[in-house]
Every structure is written in structure tokens, then in C-alpha cells.
Amino acid sequence: MRANQPVIYMDGMGFWSVFHYDDVRTVLSDHARFSSGPGAPPPSQIAAAPPQAESRGVGFSLITSDPPKHTMLRSLVSRSFTPRAVAALEPRIESIANELIDRCEAAGEIDLIRDFAYPLPVIVIAELLGIPSADRDQFKLWSDEVVASANAIMGDVNPQSQKALADMHMYFRDIIAKRRIQPEDDLISALLLVEEERQQLNEHDILAFCSLLLVAGNETTTNLIGNAVLTLLEHPEQLDKLRAESERLAPAIEEVLRYRSPVQAMFRTAKEDISLGGQIIPGGSRVVAWIGSANRDEQKFDRAGEFDITRESNPHIAFGHGIHFCLGAPLARLEARVALMVILKRLPNLARINHDPLQPARGFIVHGVESLPL
Ligand code: HEM
């Protein structure tokens, strides 16, 4: 598609697809012409990404808004989500990762996704938000349901997911009420401070942001960790290099983000007729920017189809580009680096226990595997 039809209307799907690196970057970042709002009803036969969730009442307003609302919301929430605040989490993430491996050792088996890559980001988000550890299991159940709701087939609203979301919001409201009386060192208390000082965030915004963190931050990070281990197992010479030179951990994560992008695509809506790649995209059309394709574009990357952790230049756009650039990128990078470090240290004989075909993770947007027994 990239070579022959880099901008094309997908008839049966009801949207336009864009495949070249430069065009994908334009669609993601040109918010004057490409809106992040839900626009026309999305096609019925595909799994939905977080941006579509708003149209189903979930209300992830940051990711689905355009300026000026987006500018205001982003500046307020990013105050409480700074790279410095995230960096301070490193020791805690390392101890959670070690505890998860301890549990696998005790059980005598490990499915990397089920036992490690999946629980790690959920626990981290729960701690970041300030969910008491006694409520962690309940929170994880809700989180599963909310993610399932955002991935559900469009038009087929799962009442169980809606109930889980309502219950979780009720729970968050309770935590918010407690933090109003007694603030703690957590994200919800920090957001409440912004609400009180600036009068610009309200409780609905805070609830929407907490839900967005769950949907945007969990499955994506799970897939980054899973894709990293899978790709290194497929490239044993690169795995050896990484074991020998630990300073390559961060560039190795970047190369996984490029080579197996956990988020393959994002949606936009054309605000007007737009000329792109020799085609005219009519105003009102839904447009899919294929991040996974852009990151393998031979016109942008040398040996684009090769996995190479020593790559010198790696301007991938796995976290998007422009004003919606992933707010959680520093956290995702940190979690993946610490996860890989702990895995390499604790599992010196890393290998798959069988070579059965792997099942892809659900959905059209995320890219990963359902299970990876080691
Ligand atoms: C936005 C990818 C992890 C929170 C985005 C976007 C992408 C992305 C591509 C841009 C959306 C757009 O242009 O419409 C990823 C990947 C991750 C990851 C690949 C993991 C490997 C996280 C984490 C969090 C997070 C851990 C938070 C805990 C967000 C938020 C936005 C966002 C809040 C919306 C930003 C805005 O609209 O201004 N992410 N993400 N993400 N991500 Fe991530």
C-alpha cells in the first residue's frame, strides 16, 4: 500500500488511509485541518481506539479535543504529569517488576503478558493515582472492563463495561472527596489542587482524565514490553549485544517502538477538502494515520524492515506527533526500560517454551500478542 497507494479511500471500511511517514505526520499534527474530534460515526466493523470512546459516552476529552479546549486541558494536566515526577517512580517500578518475577519463579512458569507485562502498568497507574493497595484487585477488574469497552466492536456497547466504568467513576468520586479533605502525594490530589487554584478543571475533567490514563496507558505499555521481548527473542544476536552493553537499553526500546509500534494507527476527521498524496480527501471524512506504516517507511529509515538496536537516527512517531504527542511517553519509556532490565537480569535463559503460533492482541489499533509463554 505504501508503495502503490499511499493515500487511499478504503471502500468497505468507510475511511481514508494514509501510509507515508511525511503524510502520517501531517495528519497527526495539522490540527487546523485534521480534527481529533469524533466527527462522522465510525465504521461498524472495526475495533475502536481510545479516540472513538468519547462518542460512546466515555468522555476521554483530552485526546478527542482540538484547540483551544485541548490547549487548556493539556496545560493543566501536564503540570501534574511532568517527566521529573515520572522519573521519581523508577525505584518503585523496579521493585514491582521484581515482585512480579518472584511470583512467577514461585509458580514455576511465566506467561510474559499475563504475569508481567499486563499487571506492571496497571499497578503503576493505580499507585500514581493514589488507589489504596487494598483496592488494587477491584481496580484492576474495572481497568480491564474499561479497556475492553474502548476496544469493543463499535455499535455493540457492552453493558458490563458501561457498568464497570460507572462503578469506577463512583469509586474515583469517593477518593476525590477524601483527597479534598486530606490531600496526599498522588496525582488525584495534584489535579484537585489545580482545580481549586485555577478554577479551570472540574470533577468531570478529572474523572475523564483518570479514565483516559487507564485506556491510553495500560494496554499500550503491555504491548511495548511484550513486543520488546518477542522481537529480541527473534533476533538473538541483538539480545546478546543488549546483555553485553546495558547502555543500549533505551535505544533498544526506541527501536521496538519503531519496528513493532504498539499503537498502529490514530483517527482524525478532515475539517475541509484536503489535498494529500495526490488525492482529495473530502471534508468530513474519517482519516486513519497509519503510524505502524510510517515507522517502516523506506523513504525515511535506512533498512526500514530490519530490527537494529544500534540504529543511529530513529525519528519514529510511535507516540504521535504535534500537540497530542503522548503525555505518557516518559512513563512508558521508563516502565519498558526498567521491565527489560529486570527481565534480562532475572531471566538469563530467556526463551520461548514452544513455537506455537502467537495470537495477536485484540483490536485494529494495538499491536502485540495475547500471550507469550517463556
Ligand atoms: C496520546 C501512544 C503510553 C497517556 C498518545 C498518542 C499516541 C500514544 C500515538 C497520540 C494520539 C493522537 O495523536 O491522537 C502511546 C504508546 C504508549 C503510550 C505507544 C506505550 C508504549 C501511554 C501512557 C500514558 C499515556 C503510559 C499515561 C499513563 C496518553 C495521553 C494521550 C496520549 C493522556 C493524549 C494526549 C493528548 O491528546 O494531548 N499516546 N501511548 N500513553 N497518551 Fe499515550
200 contacts: CB under 8 Å, gap ≥ 6: 72, 76, 194
Q: What class, spelled out in words, does domain 7-108+221-346 have in CATH?
A: mainly alpha
Q: How far is the CA of 53 from the centre of ligand 1 (A)?
A: 14
pLDDT above 90 (res 163): no
Return the residue whose CA atom lies nearest to atom 26 of ligand 1. Answer: 217
**Cβ atoms of 182 and 188 closer than 8 Å:** no
- Please indicate whether residue 152, judged by its CB atom, sits closer than 6 Å to ligand 1: no
Return the residue whose CA atom lies nearest to atom 17 of ligand 1. Answer: 220
What integer pLDDT is reported at residue 28 of this predicted model?
Answer: 98
Give the mean pLDDT of 173-185.
91
Domain boundaries along the sequence of the chain: 7-108+221-346
Q: What percent of the chain has pLDDT over 70?
A: 90
CA 63 centroid distance within chain: 12
Give the mean pLDDT of 261-272.
96
- pLDDT, one tens digit per residue, over 21-69 is 999 999 999 999 999 987 544 433 333 343 333 333 334 588 999 999 8
Return the residue whose CA atom lies nearest to atom 21 of ligand 1. Answer: 221
pLDDT above 50 (res 153): no
Give the mean pLDDT of 260-282.
96
174 contacts: CB under 8 Å, gap ≥ 6: none
> ipTM for the complex?
0.99
Give the mean pLDDT of 303-328.
97
- Please indicate whether residue 286, judged by its CB atom, sits closer than 6 Å to ligand 1: no
CA atoms within 13 A on the CB side of 144: 9
What DSSP string runs through 118-133? THHHHHHHHHHHT--G
What integer pLDDT is reported at residue 193 of this predicted model?
Answer: 85
- pLDDT, one tens digit per residue, over 92-124 is 999 999 999 999 999 988 999 999 999 999 999
What integer pLDDT is reported at residue 43 of this predicted model?
Answer: 38
What integer pLDDT is reported at residue 277 of this predicted model?
Answer: 94
Q: What would the grid cell of residue 301 be? A: 529509515
- The burial class, CB within 10 Å (0-12 / 13-18 / 19+), for 91 is exposed
- Please indicate whether residue 165, judged by its CB atom, sits closer than 6 Å to ligand 1: no
What integer pLDDT is reported at residue 46 of this predicted model?
Answer: 33
For 337-358, b/e burial (b = at least 16 CB within 10 A) is bbbbebbbeebeebeeeeeeeb
Q: What does the mean pLDDT of the chain come to?
A: 87
Q: How far is the CA of 107 from the centre of ligand 1 (A)?
A: 33
Predicted TM-score (pTM) of this structure: 0.91
Counting atoms of ligand 1 from 1, which one is nearest the CA of 262?
19
What integer pLDDT is reported at residue 136 of this predicted model?
Answer: 81
